[in-house]
A and B are shown apart, each in its own frame.
Chain A
Amino acid sequence: MSEIAAHWNYYLVIILMMLGFYAVIARGNMVKKMVGLNIFQTSVFMLYISVGKIDGGTAPILTGDPASVYSNPLPHVLILTAIVVGVATTAVGYALIIRIYEAYGTIEDDEVAVLIDSDQDARERADAEPAS
């Protein structure tokens, strides 16, 4: 039990990760998929941030005291980049969802799939009897 308590942050990360991943896979609503994706990514951010944290460490600012303990800044900086990437992904994703809603009138996976099939049928019919 103390094992879990000592690494509670990692367990939290795993739970979040699985929650997000599940939503991505199992949800048919595209907005919910995006939410799941964000949770999934955030869990990874937290994994990196946890790694950088050192018990009793301060912010990594040069103080001239060689004995001062500070957190590892590198993972934090990496995640700064990853957050930017995540924000961009989210933006592109929601932009696509808006366009899909405009084009199909729905953002449900299965309903869009039906419409995709009917698009295909329509085009095949057009092939069979080209407009003269």
Chain B
Amino acid sequence: MENVETLIYLLLGLPLLAAANTLLLARFENLRDGQAVLLGLVTAGCAYALYTSPTAALETVTLVQLAPQLTLTFTPEPLGMLFALVAGSLWPLASLYTIGYMRGAGEKNHTRFMFFYAIAIHAAMAIALSGNLLTLFVFYEVLTFSTYPLVTHKGTPEAKQAGRIYLGILVTSSVVFLLFGVISVWLLAGTLDFASGGILADRMDPAYVPLLLGLFAFGIGKAALMPLHRWLPAAMVAPTPVSALLHAVAVVKAGVFSMLKISIYIFGVDFLATTSASDWLVWVAAFSILAASIVALSKTNLKARLAYSTISQLGYIVLGAALASPLAASGAALHIATHATGKITLFFCAGAIYVAHHLSDIRDMDGLGRRMPITFSAFALGALSIIGVPPLAGAWSKLMLMGGAMQSDFLIIIFVLAVSSLLNLVYLGEIVLRAFFKSGAHSEGAMAEAPWACVVPLVVTALMSLGLFFAVDNFVLDFGGM
């Protein structure tokens, strides 16, 4: 069906169009920013159309042949379409929010910012729809380099330092480990195409599967698996819309998505399960989950705490990939969506607080909930979703991950997940409690919310977390053996 092909081209092309428009319309601020939101909405529509298209998975689009055996190919498959939908539908909200934030906080160089933002979305879309490992790698790097100007946007020495850490970790890990893994797969399997059930079974000595998996697990630095997580807190110096992009829409999600995609379509869940190759990764992920949560407790800067919370949550998804059971894989896929809506809400709120009151330390936020009721209500919803309390979306994905752990006989992981939920409750709950039930320096005064362009997106994403709980049926993917 050529319809699907058109959708693929649209999903890849619309962000680029938005980027080009941004440059062309640099002089007309409202037009420049308005078209980004508008094109974002169209992109979201396309992503939804693709996700619901019954024939999508049968289509393959080859963009260009780089060299013999090496092509840039796009093949929608359920997991990728889900990620495209997440990124696509959060992009217009993030764009709208960016307008409010950038103008409210008085940041400079809007055009450059919006341009690279759109390029980053383009790269995320390409990663989502990538049909082979090479395409995934290529756009993984495009994403890294296009987000660098965003991270260093402020141009301060701290921003430059953050940029160095950001690029240093992400590029080094991807070049040294990931590309190594990609070329190894190329040599082992003779192909780089994603295929359901994996392409490596029977092609390599099972004893070396853990090694190869390690190349990918640590090569995909964007998944922020400890000890490669340093770049994420460092990148906190960037403006908040960037943090939203990094944490929810594109970057870390692209990382864990790649991890999931590789374990499902390159290794194959069954192959990993029969070789027990990913057992070690389960423990690494479990460590990452708990350790990051504990570090989060000690942070009093709101964005830093959220950053460590993200590292912990990414551990869930890597865990889902490592557990090598269909249920865990489905849970991990779902967690990409649920965590995205939850975490983007939290970051939007953090940014709104900064724009309205220039506060970033949690201890200064006592009683602030009375002055920003909408923002903090949304924050509470997002936090509950991250913690995993029904009726919010995060509950489902955690439940499925626990089920997956049971399927793979990792009972202790259920315990890890439970402890981590408790820790979530402590470090996120504290913020909500302080805001609503304590009084402090900033609690007096009239209601003072951030500009509407900031508030609307965060309300929408908070409601999405709620809505996702009830519509979850549509987003549970079947990787066999349910």
**A contacting B, Cβ–Cβ less than 8 Å:** no
Which positions in B face A, CB cutoff 8 Å? none
